[in-house]
Amino acid sequence: MASSRGEFSSRFGFVMAAAGSAVGLGNIWGFPTQAASNGGAAFLLVYLVLAFTLAYPALMAELIIGRHAHANAVNALRMVSSAPISRNIGATVGIIGFIVASLILSFYAIVAGWMIAFCLSSLAQLFGMQDFAQWLVSFGMPRNILFMCAFMVMTVAIISAGVRDGIERWSARLMPLLLVTLVLLVLYVFTLDGAMEGLKVYLLPDFDRALSPKLIIAAMGSAFFSLSLGVGTMLIYGSYISDEENLPVVGGLVTLVDISIAVLAGFLVLPAMYVALHNGVEIYTATGALISEDTLIFTVLPELFKTMGLAGIVVSFTFFFLMAIAALTSSISMLEVPVAYVIEEHGLGRKLAVCTIGAAIAVTSATILLNFETLFGLVIAFTTRYSQPLLGFMFCIYAGWVWHRDKVLQEVRKGSPEVEHSLFWKIWPGYVRFVCPVIILAIFAQSLWG
């Protein structure tokens, strides 16, 4: 059954695909700016602790359930339950997961479309097409819809080629390219005046800020978003791993790559902001906080590139190219969630399923664009602030409580026969039963009422 539904061909292929999913706009954009405005290295420390103690165990829950079931989340959660009620709740969680994954993709495609437009704008500038370059970076409906659709078409093209020829092949090509581009950009920015000041802000810890509840909530949200948790993405990727693979190790590798790229991106974005300051670009808001989020990416950095002449055009192209790649290896993992469900549950052919769902998501994105002020922030908050932690909580409950411990062990043992005596097996089961659910709920409650 496993081979007829697609399987990653190698450990490298899986790690690239799962790390490709994890490494996205969240790492290169979200993490560095949050670190900058939340206590620098102290945020980094909190993030690292949460990533390993909370996100890694939750990631393992999804990978193990997925590999056991070799099926989409709806079937998988059903499969690990024995009582009718937990089967039904499991299927419901799976269905909500694929709706949330589709909604995440619908706002992600909008932002990714902007990245492509900014990337092309640098090219247009290079060829002296100033008006076109300006059009590409101006917030207009035709541009927004056009590039959102272009991005969706790329995502659809990769996913319709399947697990090996689509997801694995493209992740294995794009991820090394992403890493090389990122390292080149970091090295270049380090040579510019002002970079060292940014480095200080990034690396000097301010513990007063790092231990505030607001920051811990932000760090948990970041860690969950960054590891693509809670919507069944990692579960479905897990379902394509071969039974011979050592799950705790590959899960650990994916977590490590994800964190390393986020940390590396910090070495790019923070120094770049202070280079911008050095070149006369405003990087603080009226309240004295560092500019972050969309203003940083779409205003501060482009202004910095402008002060750098021809080199700025090349750097700008490279930077937005990097963002677009990061977005693409993530968006394919989002689209695979509803696609796998529809193929397996309703027997549709892959191409038909991919095109239908891709079109439905593009229509949702267009609706968000047409009601941008009201819908954009709302969809982001609904999916990432509320749905992801709650669904992540449910996956932990299924791995820790609903599924029998001996069966879980049997599954993990497949690729690592000695696992029973490992540190992983001493810690993880208790962790996913007690620590993860309690911490997720506590932080979630704090975010609602704190």
Q: Which residue has the tokens 């990245």?
A: 115
Number of other CB atoms surrounding residue 212 within 10 Å: 14
Residue 354 phi/psi, 5-degree rounding, is -65, -45
Q: Which is closer to ligand TRP, CB of 31 or CB of 431?
A: 31
C-alpha 425/C-alpha 435 separation (Å) is 15
Stretch that binds ligand TRP, among 33-41, 225-233, 289-297, 373-381 (CB under 6 A): 225-233
Dihedral sign computed on CA atoms, order 244, 90, 80, 389: positive
- Least distance between ligand TRP and beta carbon 20 (Å): 9
Q: Which is closer to ligand TRP, CB of 58 or CB of 408?
A: 58
C-alpha 20/C-alpha 254 separation (Å) is 9
Q: Are 292 and 34 in contact (CB under 8 A)?
A: yes
**Residue 225 contacts ligand TRP per CB under 6 A:** yes
C-alpha 27/C-alpha 326 separation (Å) is 9
Per CB under 6 A, the list member of 110, 199, 247, 334 interacting with ligand TRP is: 334
- Helices in 288-422 by DSSP H: which ranges? 293-295, 301-306, 309-346, 350-370, 372-380, 388-397, 405-413
C-alpha 114/C-alpha 324 separation (Å) is 9
**Residue 364 contacts ligand TRP per CB under 6 A:** no
Site for ligand TRP in 229-258 (CB under 6 A): 231, 233
Q: Which is closer to ligand TRP, CB of 265 or CB of 313?
A: 265
- Least distance between ligand TRP and beta carbon 23 (Å): 6
Stretch that binds ligand TRP, among 91-99, 228-236, 315-323, 440-448 (CB under 6 A): 228-236
| Residue 103 token pair | 């909604």
- Least distance between ligand TRP and beta carbon 322 (Å): 13
Site for ligand TRP in 269-328 (CB under 6 A): none
Site for ligand TRP in 76-115 (CB under 6 A): 101, 104
Q: Are 363 and 371 in contact (CB under 8 A)?
A: no
**Residue 24 contacts ligand TRP per CB under 6 A:** yes
Stretch that binds ligand TRP, among 77-85, 152-160, 279-287, 330-338 (CB under 6 A): 330-338
Stretch that binds ligand TRP, among 146-154, 227-235, 298-306, 404-412 (CB under 6 A): 227-235
**Residue 14 contacts ligand TRP per CB under 6 A:** no
Per CB under 6 A, the list member of 72, 75, 144, 228 interacting with ligand TRP is: 228
Rounded to the nearest 10°, the torsion over CA 233, 234, 240, 246 is 180
| Residue 167 token pair | 């997801």
Q: Are 230 and 224 in contact (CB under 8 A)?
A: yes
| Residue 53 token pair | 């103690």
Q: Are 272 and 33 in contact (CB under 8 A)?
A: no
Per CB under 6 A, the list member of 13, 16, 17, 27 interacting with ligand TRP is: 27
Interface residues toward ligand TRP, by CB under 6 A = 21-22, 24-27, 101, 104, 225-226, 228, 231, 233, 330, 333-334
